[in-house]
Structure 1
């Protein structure tokens, strides 16, 4: 050793190699500089060292690079004055075996870094197997100890034989305090019974299971947080003959997940209750607001008299205009609320794309004519195209957009309506020649109750476009402004997805209801109305009287109405839903259960205009559903159709 130290301190490498080659075992000398990024630098080795690695000396640096980290770790624990031999076992460069390396400082001269002598020995196959087994065990232990889940093994008697560090830290114990104990030694009886039963089932079935288990504290104390839970994966460990010799398990704390699930369920229930309350409120408000409006508009219509003086006619006209405006406002407010509650009542069906816009145009043309507005349309782009929409709701959107184009147009202005294919959608375009909208106001255009600066003196609530956008969104389309500028008018677009080919489009006429051949069939008809509001009974009597209905009988309660229908066997029943004794829904059900009465058409005449209620009654077999305030012409068409079906 002295000769090796002396020659290396003198930097005589040839002499050093000569000395090293006299040694029978593989030996190498390294320079050690602890402050360097790579502190271990190879200097020289003997023939045995070169033969060990099957390398020439210039290639030795690369050959031992994989050994350096393990060697350096041991050397850092030594000192230059330490003459003790330290041993480290590391994988060799091939990764198939192990080398035992004995390391010793050889001292150093004042002007030279420390020298380290390393003697190498390849382990035998048996030693390699042992070392490999130790490495695998160490790797598995490191894996388990760095896990953030409980990992443990129990023998068939239920005693813990292996626990990871997380297990011990979780319960504030050392592994030694846990090993050899059973669940009943550690935890409260209730929890231990659950753990033991799950273990028994897994060992007997010899199949892995995933189970939720209660959280418990070591020491038999019940955890104060009763919501805490473990999700445990338990599996049998089988010997070579397939017999379970132990149970392994991994347990994860799922308390946060369970609390999140519970909070989500609670939030969902709260949302459902809120929606139910809102739906009930909307239904009630619809009934309470429309019922008096029905009487106001109905009797105002009856007061129309072309032979009356001009003042009388103007008064009736103002009543009707104000009433209709109020009805529109009620409708829009209820629809906005309905959309916001998540239940817009959209009932899509396949329809020809040109029909809803054509129907809307036919209805608004008289209004445009009154304002001196000319409407031009080109619907060729919609010919042969089908869309899946709620036709009633889409017409409502067209009414709003066309109505705005009329109200905000200039005197003697014009409106152009067109259609064209836009990708996978059909685009409806409505262009007016009005004053346009400033860029600073575009953002408020679709906000509820917002009135723009150019709306002064123009009747409206500011709800129409907000409602229209909500309805179009629900039908999978888009509504927006394509172009507008002060003095240049405005172009709105409505994009509706084109339906896939192969469907059967509904055949819509200009009017949704069948056009009666003649109202003369009503002269011989018998009609029973079930209505508990006296003023509405009186209104209906006068309206039907003008239609020429031959026989009308009224009932103020559900029970009285059912008895009246049984005795008269009428052609049509007009049924209100909100009755004093039983609901109109139950009246409809009783009439349908009676074979003698089940084929009598029942027309619902109600102030409840919520889409859910309309859909419900139609699905229950109502012949038609007409909301109050009703249009006398529509009611007449329904009655004629019902009588024709009955006859």
Structure 2
């Protein structure tokens, strides 16, 4: 019979409570009360015999004495049982009542012993005392101290009686010896009986404890088996109802179980699969041999393996499965078989391929877009270089008023077209996440004042008032990207001027300090046409303006605000707008920055504009395949024309470098036969063989991407000029990189020596 774990534990706990000191005393007390009447039978018989042998009065007196001792003992025990008090004090009190009860029995024995001188009375007293001893020994395992108290009283009583007879000479000496030996024999019999009772009790306790322990172990084993059986049933249900295929193989690797999903996926029924090797049943010619080898290797070392491979169904169709094969090992470490769980991932593999193809197509599209934008930028910037550059040359000369206005119109149109190209390129870079924001010290006041000077002529043409106010702005430099700040500010100011017919445009600059650093706020307020509330969010979308009429009337691509907002967000801020039709608009640029009080000032260029900073005898090699570009550079560098050397491709540029020994090279990136990147590498290799200083090389390119700048610098170029080239930018770059006269002399001497 198997008991639940709780019942077994309760039985074990009750047993331990029962064999404890308190538990044994409780059994003693209840037993003494239960067998009260049974013990009185012996008492009545003894009293009757004593009454018959001596006198009824003596028998009745002995009965009363014996009942008195029993009453004292039993009433005391009954009080303890009622209160459930089985503690130490109760046990000590029961020892005293046991001694009282034994004393009353001893008095009865004394009455029978002394009532007559005949041997029959003494024999009766000894037998009665022996019965009392045996009765006391029965409860020895339950209350040792009470039994010992009774035995001490009994031994003292019988010894006193024999001593009294010996001293008084009552009875013959032979009779006395006979009675003493008979008493010893009866005492030994009582001792043997008590010892047997005690051993039997202890043995029974040990056997009972062992039985309970074995029962507990048996119950635990049964529960373990039951749990395993329940787990096996649950696993069987899971396997049978799982969406994944489950295959169980034996020690030889042959299939001994498959679930319903296996039949659904592979097409093989359980009967067809039983006894087969999974490899023979499922492997396809397209199954990866390395995957098969990995499975066999894991099987040899009894390790689990997980992989993806191709299986073939009963119909001959190849499917992708993700398989997880785990060995089944018993408690002795012996492999009994394997469990393989396979999931059909054919659809996932198809989606994975589709995503990979889509990613490849997207990357190809991005590359094509980048190449297209680079080509458009190059092809448009090249003629724009001539238009803007030549217009710049004409404006630097003496022109009549109408001629100057005509050239200025050409220049403005070219710059407008350049702005559109720059906006498209900026938007492309922002969308691709390739726009880089610099963090350098710059003078915010100077940048904004310089930008305001650029739009001042536009405001004067429309009769608008311009103002720039700084609210408690520190005089320190700030860390940030001055070019992007200037770009966004110019866009906001340009838009404000464009959409304002009368009144003015004001810009107010303030700074707010917060836990994340300083935030610059530039609010551009105009008195223009305003924007309806439902169109405020729309104006920041690419190629969008407030409405179609605005586009037709004022023009523009609708890219400026979209680019400006994205730039502001990349700088840790944003652009907010408030407006109302007919009441003007207020655009607020916010961006994160911090004071750069300890930053070093940027090095001042040798010349920022004009020809004064360029050495008069400098020799400049211009490498450009476009005739218009060469003509433009010749016009721009007219003051140093005797020192100009021209090359139409990279090969000629390297040859002219060898033969002419220029002080500075202006190198176009895109040229036939050998482009500017390769020509620069060849020149740097030549210089590596000579002790002379390296000649500065400045890139001239119509490509405006940051990657183009990086390629130039990696090839060994020193600077980067983007077409269209402005006179002031060109002069500033030449002045910055032009070597001093001593370096020029050393370089020329070294090259002439190498040529010889």
Q: TM-score, normalised by structure 2?
A: 0.62
Question: Which of 257, 261, 267 is the aligned partner of 1:162?
Answer: 257
Give the distance between the partners of 2:268 and 2:627, measured in 1 at CA.
82
Matched, 1:314 2:314: no
**Distance verdict in 2 for CA 1:209–1:309, change over 3 Å:** same
Q: d(CA) in 1 for partners of 2:606 and 2:483?
A: 12
Give 1:641's match in structure 2, choosing from 726, 736, 751: 736
Give 1:560 shift. Answer: 0.7
CA contact (8 A) 2:459 2:497 kept: yes
SS at match of 2:671: coil
CA distance in 2, matches of 1:132, 1:606: 80
Q: Structure 1 unaligned runs (5+)? A: 1-123
Q: Does 1:525 align with 2:618?
A: yes
Structure 1 residue 551: Cα displacement: 0.5
Match of 1:211 in 2: 307
Is 1:348 the counterpart of 2:444? The answer is no
| Equivalent residue number for residue 252 of structure 1 | 343
- C-alpha distance in 1 between matches for 2:725 and 2:683: 24
Q: Which residue of 1 aligns with 2:232?
A: 137
Q: How far 1:476 sits from its partner (Å)?
A: 4.8
Contact kept in structure 1, 2:247 and 2:258, CA below 8 Å: yes
Work out the CA distance in 2 between the residues paired with 1:249 and 1:514: 78
Which segment drifts farther, 139-148 or 330-339? Answer: 330-339
Structure 1 residue 462, shift from structure 2 partner: 3.0
Deviation (angstroms), 1:297: 1.8
**Structure 2 residue aligned with 1:587:** 679
- With over 3 angstroms needed to count, the CA separation of the structure-2 counterparts of 1:640 and 1:196, relative to structure 1, is closer
> In the alignment, does 2:332 pair up with 1:241?
yes
- Cα deviation for residue 158 of structure 1 reads 1.2
2:633 match: 540
Whether 2:356 is the aligned partner of 1:265: answer yes
Q: Please give the alpha-carbon distance, in whole angstroms, between the structure 2 residues aligned to 1:528 and 1:128.
A: 96
Higher mean alpha-carbon deviation, 513-522 vs 634-643, is at 513-522
Quote the residue 2:382 is aligned against. Answer: 291
Alignment CA distance shift 1:307-1:193 (3 Å): closer
Report the counterpart of residue 65 of structure 1 in structure 2. Answer: none
* Local SS of the residue matching 1:153: strand
* Shift of residue 516, structure 1, vs aligned partner: 7.4
Say whether the 8 Å CA contact 2:608–2:731 is kept in structure 1. no
Which residue of structure 2 aligns with residue 559 of structure 1?
A: 651
| Aligned 8 A contact 1:382 1:426 in 2 | no
Of 589-598 and 626-635, the range deviating more from structure 2: 589-598
Q: Is the 8 A contact 2:265 2:313 kept in 1?
A: no
Measure the CA separation in 2 of the matches of 1:599 and 1:531: 21
Structure 1 residue 324 corresponds to structure 2 residue 415: yes
CA drift of 1:201 comes to: 1.7
Q: Distance in 2 between matches of 1:135 and 1:179?
A: 25
The match for 2:494 is 403
- Equivalences, count: 515
Taking a change above 3 Å as real, the CA distance of residues 422 and 277 of structure 1, as seen in their structure-2 partners, is: farther
- Partners of 2:610 and 2:731 within 8 A in 1: no
Q: Tell me which residue corresponds to 1:58.
A: none
1:417 corresponds to: 508
Which whole-Å CA distance do the structure 1 matches of 2:479 and 2:613 have between them? 38
Q: CA-to-partner distance for each residue in 1:512-560, whole Å, 9 max, x for gaps?
A: 99647972543110000001111221111111014x4551010111111
Shift of 1:184: 4.8
Three-state SS of the structure 1 residue aligned to 2:367 is: helix
Deviations 1:229-273 (A, max 9, x none): 111111222222323221222221222222222222211211111
Cα distance change of structure 1 residues 155 and 196 upon mapping to structure 2, 3 Å threshold:
farther
**Alpha-carbon offset, residue 433 of structure 1:** 2.8
**Whose radius of gyration is greater, 1 or 2?**
2
Correspondence list, 1:617-628, <5 A: 617-628=712-723
Matched, 1:361 2:361: no
- Rounded to whole Å, the distance in 2 between the matches of 1:193 and 1:580 is 51
Deviation at 1:211, TM superposition (A): 1.4
Q: Whole-Å Cα distance in 2 between the matches of residues 210 and 630 of structure 1? A: 63
1:348 shift after superposition: 2.7
Greater CA deviation, 378-387 or 582-591? 378-387
CA contact (8 A) 1:385 1:498 kept: no
2:711 counterpart residue number: 616
State the distance in 2 between where 1:348 and 1:463 align.
22
Which of residues 472, 478, 499 is equivalent to 2:574?
478
Q: Is the 8 A contact 1:585 1:617 kept in 2?
A: yes
Task: Give the Cα separation in 2 of the matches to 1:556 and 1:471.
Answer: 39
Separation in 1 of the partners of 2:602 and 2:668? Answer: 28
Distance 1:475 1:537 in 2: 39
**Alignment CA distance shift 1:527-1:130 (3 Å):** closer
**Cα distance in structure 1, aligned partners of 2:704 and 2:422:** 9
Structure with bigger strand share is: 1
Indicate conservation of the 8 Å contact 1:414/1:432, yes or no.
yes
CA deviation digits over 1:371-399, x for unaligned, max 9?
4422122154576685554x323322221
Q: Distance in 2 between matches of 1:379 and 1:267?
A: 52
C-alpha contact 1:354 1:379 (8 A) present in aligned 2: no
> Do the aligned partners of residues 523 and 127 (structure 1) sit closer, same or farther apart at CA in structure 2, a change above 3 Å counting?
closer
Match of residue 276 from structure 2? 181
Change (3 A) 1:485 1:512: farther
Note if contact 1:149-1:250 (Cα within 8 Å) is conserved in structure 2.
yes
- How big is each residue's C-alpha offset from its partner over 1:44-64, in whole Å with a ceiling of 9 and x where there is no partner? xxxxxxxxxxxxxxxxxxxxx
Corresponding residue number in structure 2 for 1:433: 527
Among 647, 665, 679, the residue aligned to 1:573: 665
SS in 2 for 1:229: strand
Distance in 2 (alpha carbons) for counterparts of 1:384 and 1:161: 83
Q: Is the 8 A contact 2:441 2:596 kept in 1?
A: no
- Which shows bigger deviation, 309-318 or 526-535? 309-318
Instruction: Please say if residues 149 and 253 of structure 1, whose CA atoms lie closer than 8 Å, have aligned partners that are also in contact.
Output: yes
1:112 counterpart residue number: none
Deviations 1:64-114 (A, max 9, x none): xxxxxxxxxxxxxxxxxxxxxxxxxxxxxxxxxxxxxxxxxxxxxxxxxxx
Residues 1:279 and 1:334: Cα distance change in structure 2 (over 3 Å): same
Alignment match, 1:373: 465
Q: 1:604 aligns with which of 699, 717, 740?
A: 699
Partner Cα distance (1:574, 1:149) in 2: 69
Q: Matches of 2:292 and 2:429 in 1, distance apart?
A: 54
Determine the C-alpha separation between the residues in 2 that align with 1:544 and 1:192.
69
Aligned residues of 1:350 and 1:503 also touching (Cα < 8 A): no
**Which residue of structure 2 lines up, in the alignment, with residue 466 of structure 1?**
562
Structure 1 stretch 147-156 or stretch 287-296: which is displaced more?
147-156
- In structure 2, what is the equivalent of residue 67 of structure 1? none
Change (3 A) 1:163 1:314: same
Q: 1:134 Cα deviation (Å)?
A: 3.5
Alpha-carbon distance between aligned partners in 2 of 1:326 and 1:195, rounded to the nearest angstrom: 61
- Match of 1:579, SS state, is coil
The answer as to whether partners of 1:531 and 1:557 remain within 8 angstroms in 2 is yes
Structure 1 SS opposite 2:738:
helix
Q: CA deviation at 1:400?
A: 0.7
